[in-house]
Amino acid sequence: MNGDMHELVDAEHGLISRRIFIEPEIYQEELRNIFARCWLFLCHDSQIPLPGDFFTTYMGEDPVLVVRDNGGRVHALLNICRHRGNRLCRADSGNAASFTCAYHGWTYRNDGRLTGVPYLKEAYHNAFDRDRWGLVPVAQLDQYKGLWFATFDPKAPPLCDYLGEMAWYLDAFFDRREGGIEFIGGMHKWVMPCNWKFPAENFGGDGYHTSWSHRSAIDTGSGGNFRLAPDPLGVMLSPGKGHCVIGVGPDMLADPPASEILAYEDAIRPEMEARLGPRLNRIKPIVGTVFPNFSLLRPTSRTFRVWHPRGPDKTEVWAWVYADKQAPPEVKEAIRLAGVRVFGPSGSFEQDDMDNWQGCTQTGRGVVARSYPLNYQMGLGHDRFDPALGAWASEYRYSENNHRHFYRRWAELITGAPWAELANGGTREDRHA
């Protein structure tokens, strides 16, 4: 990798080059040094509960088959036949003991082993070792509270280290009650003409855009008014390693404004506080991004999603809606409706985001435009490490300190530097340590 990558991201001064959002060469480096190295979200355990259940997804642009074998063990494998490289499984999900390639009929068991090769005896003269040509597994596969993640990098730190303090913030979304979460059935999948980092950074720390971008939805009742109300305890939080969280004060409304949901939230609050600890009395985490491309959201809609990169100027969104497993049916139904009406491609909030991210991406095609850096200076010098929150915290509720942490991590990884040489989270505290 050329040595000037660090110059693309000047987090100390809050300046980021537009080149990283549009240039194909940099995008290829991202696929290699970010998507083929980081832990990436695959699916939730409740999508593949029983033997044979499978779900097909992507890690970067690599197609991946996540499947539970006959013995109940989960595998994540390249969804590619080893023979001619055809895509093996063409369904989004289902249940299978084995998968057969449509081209020549090579067959793989649901643990990845190659078991069937037509004309093995005659055409390969019995000299073919099937054991060496099973599906290619990911380097590491692990789950956190039912969320399956994988990495192609055998040297990547274990998932729990990769998440670090972010694990607690994930708990605040996904482990609020015994049993954790489950999905509402179905998914939203759609293509956005923008660079994947714009949605990732937006969910990671852009509280600033909400009261303007989404004002029309807030004013017509679909989002509640929490963001327009003064919130002295609102804060941008960087728990390290590029992960980002937006928090509001503990008493702020941060849920889809349906009466069933609000009553439910009041009712479970003592249980949640007992489970998650006193930090909840300081802040309520509402939005976040697990570096690089897994984002979660609590208010307006209970959604989490993966921003799959599809070239420097294209992103495929895969979005799910989730509810506490123990929530009563009427609450789950209210959450489903909020997920349809407020987020997703027709969502009264989300439809306006895509247009903005498209514009931010496409104007970077101009060579002159690209010579002017983007401004990420909001709140520069006005954040500090807060031990009680386990994160770098902004002084004011609007700040771009999360963006700066995100891109600092990006800049470290993109050079291909070994994991051991990365600052622990790319925070100033770590650098000075």
Partner 1 sequence: MRNENSPDGGLIGEVEQFLYREARLLDDRQFHEWLQLFTDDARYFMAGRSNRYPQSSKAIAILDPGRYVESDVTGEDELALFDEDKTTLAARVARLDTGMAWAEDPPSRTRHLIANIEVEPSESEVEINVYSNFLVYRSRAETEEDFYVGARRDVLRRVDGDWKIARRRMVLDQAVLTAKNLSIFF
| Binding span for partner 1 by CB under 8 A among 28-36, 352-360, 382-390, 398-406 | 352-360
Q: Which of 26, 253, 280, 340 binds partner 1 (CB under 8 A)?
A: 340
Q: Is 415 a binder of partner 1 (CB under 8 A)?
A: no
Q: Is 93 a binder of partner 1 (CB under 8 A)?
A: yes
Evaluate whether 392 touches 400 at the Cβ level (below 8 Å).
no
Cα gap 159→363, rounded to integer Å: 37
Q: Is 51 a binder of partner 1 (CB under 8 A)?
A: yes
Please provide the DSSP assignment of 27-38 as one string: HHHHIIIIITTS
Counting residues that bind partner 1 (by CB under 8 A) gives: 57
Q: Is 352 a binder of partner 1 (CB under 8 A)?
A: yes
Separation in Å, CA 239 to CA 59, 247, 390: 24, 12, 6
Which residues are CB-neighbours of 89 under 8 A, at least 6 positions away? 54, 56, 65, 79, 96, 99
Q: Is 31 a binder of partner 1 (CB under 8 A)?
A: no
Question: Binding pattern to partner 1, positions 271-300, x when CB under 8 A?
Answer: ------------------------------
Nearer to partner 1, 112 or 240 (CB): 112
Helix, strand or coil, per DSSP, at residue 7: helix
Please provide the DSSP assignment of 358-404 as one string: HHHHHGGGSHHHHTS-EE--TTTT-EEEETTTTEEEESSSS-SHHHH
Nearer to partner 1, 92 or 429 (CB): 92
Q: Which of 17, 293, 295, 358 binds partner 1 (CB under 8 A)?
A: 358
Evaluate whether 376 touches 403 at the Cβ level (below 8 Å).
yes
- In the structure encoding, which two tokens stand for residue 57, read together? 């997804």
| Binding span for partner 1 by CB under 8 A among 292-300, 314-322, 372-380, 411-419 | 314-322
Evaluate whether 45 touches 143 at the Cβ level (below 8 Å).
yes
Helices and strands per DSSP (H, E), number in the chain: 14, 23
Q: Is 157 a binder of partner 1 (CB under 8 A)?
A: no
Question: Binding pattern to partner 1, positions 115-154, x when CB under 8 A?
Answer: ----------------------------------------
Helix, strand or coil, per DSSP, at residue 129: coil
Pseudo-torsion of CA 321, 60, 41, 5, nearest 10°?
Answer: -110
Report, as residue numbers or ranges, the catalytic residues: 104, 206, 209, 214, 353
Q: Is 345 a binder of partner 1 (CB under 8 A)?
A: yes
Separation in Å, CA 304 to CA 103, 118, 300: 35, 42, 12
Evaluate whether 250 touches 258 at the Cβ level (below 8 Å).
no
Q: What's the 3-state SS for 162-185?
A: HHCCHHHHHHHHHCCCCCCEEECC
| Binding span for partner 1 by CB under 8 A among 39-47, 288-296, 355-363, 382-390 | 355-363
Q: Is 6 a binder of partner 1 (CB under 8 A)?
A: no
Q: Which of 139, 187, 374, 380 binds partner 1 (CB under 8 A)?
A: 187
Q: Which of 135, 321, 327, 389 binds partner 1 (CB under 8 A)?
A: 321
Question: Binding pattern to partner 1, positions 191-230, x when CB under 8 A?
Answer: xxx------------------xx-xxx-xxxx--------
Q: Which of 26, 96, 233, 258 binds partner 1 (CB under 8 A)?
A: 96
Evaluate whether 84 touches 158 at the Cβ level (below 8 Å).
no
Q: Is 19 a binder of partner 1 (CB under 8 A)?
A: no
Residues that bind partner 1 (CB under 8 A): 50-52, 70, 89-100, 102, 110, 184-193, 212-213, 215-217, 219-222, 316, 320-321, 333, 336-337, 339-341, 344-346, 348, 350-352, 354-356, 358
